[in-house]
């Protein structure tokens, strides 16, 4: 279950974001948004998994404003061209809407299996 979540996170393209709930659905585990957050929280800092592309359903960064994690996520998103205003991302503009073939036929990444 955790591996599939990491594989789905790895598939999020640069400049796009998804919510914890949408990610759970795309990974085949609907209604498991909190589990997604737990898996991402347990992912080693050394991984290259693009965890920063996962936000709350309303587009807000889940970390408290001003925290190091908030600043890191905001900085990474902005470096990819994602506009972050007051800690929020416009989900209509930046939400990842993958085609089914993206999810079914993409080979797993090396980092997806590391925890």
**Regarding the domain delimited by 2-113, which CATH topology (the fold level of the hierarchy) does it fall under?**
Arc Repressor Mutant, subunit A (1.10.10)
Q: Indicate if the pLDDT at residue 85 is higher than 70.
A: yes
pLDDT at position 46 is 84
Per-residue burial over 73-107, b = 16 or more CB atoms within 10 Å of its CB, e = otherwise: bbebbeebebebeebebebeebebebeeeeeeeee
Whether residue 111 is predicted with pLDDT greater than 90 in this model: the reply is: no
The tens digit of pLDDT for each residue in 53-79 reads 999 999 999 999 999 999 999 999 999
What are the boundaries of each domain within the chain? 2-113
Angle at 32 between CA 29 and CA 38, to 5 degrees: 115
How does DSSP assign 82-95, residue by residue?
--EETTEE-HHHHB
Measure the CA–CA gap between 62 and 106, rounded to whole angstroms.
28
Residue 108 confidence (pLDDT):
53
């Amino acid at each position: 279950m955790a591996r599939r979540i990491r594989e789905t996170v790895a598939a999020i393209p640069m400049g796009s974001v998804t919510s914890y709930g949408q990610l759970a659905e795309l990974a085949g585990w609907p209604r498991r948004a909190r589990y997604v957050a737990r898996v991402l929280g347990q992912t080693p800092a050394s991984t290259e998994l693009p965890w920063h592309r996962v936000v709350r359903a309303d587009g807000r960064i889940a970390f408290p404003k001003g925290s190091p994690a908030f600043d890191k996520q905001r900085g990474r998103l902005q470096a990819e061209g994602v506009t972050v205003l007051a800690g929020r991302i416009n989900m209509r503009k930046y939400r990842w809407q993958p085609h089914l073939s993206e999810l079914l036929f993409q080979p797993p990444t090396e980092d997806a299996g590391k925890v």
